[in-house]
């Protein structure tokens, strides 16, 4: 059985710009999975797949409220870390 490093999972989860954008959307608080598709202009099935990827990486958590699934950041400091990573990558490119 192949072991997957958690940092690798996080890296793969952040590799797509729409998944990163989903994390920034959650900065405002919990969102229903149904709220991502119209904002991002993608099919709800893709939203579901992307949220699953983010959840497996430990970046988001979910809870069920009736028929709705509400998503939130797993750690409120996550976006601070993403901001720092973005600053580092911009500095190396410049």
pLDDT digits (tens, 9 = 90+) for 12-62: 999 999 999 999 999 999 999 999 999 999 999 999 999 999 999 999 999
Ordered structural domains, the chain, with CATH = 6-93 (1.10.10.10)
pTM of the model: 0.86
pLDDT, tens only, 2-23 = 556 788 999 999 999 999 999 9
The token pair at 80 is 């601070």
Contacts of 16 (CB under 8 A, 6+ apart): 50
pLDDT band at 1 (very low <50, low <70, confident <90, very high): very low
- 69 closest CA partner among 56, 51, 42, 53: 51
Helix, strand or coil for residue 64? strand
**From the DSSP assignment, how many helices (H) and strands (E) are in the chain?**
5, 3
| Dihedral of alpha carbons 77, 24, 33, 48, sign | negative
């Amino acid at each position: 059985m192949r072991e997957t490093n958690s940092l690798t999972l996080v890296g793969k989860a952040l590799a797509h710009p729409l998944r990163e954008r989903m994390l920034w959307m959650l900065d405002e608080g919990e969102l229903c999975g149904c709220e991502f598709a119209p904002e991002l202009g993608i099919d709800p099935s893709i939203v579901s797949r992307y949220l699953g990827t983010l959840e497996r990486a430990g970046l988001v958590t979910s809870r069920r409220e009736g028929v709705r699934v509400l998503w939130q950041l797993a750690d409120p400091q996550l976006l601070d870390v993403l901001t720092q990573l973005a600053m580092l990558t911009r500095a190396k490119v410049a």
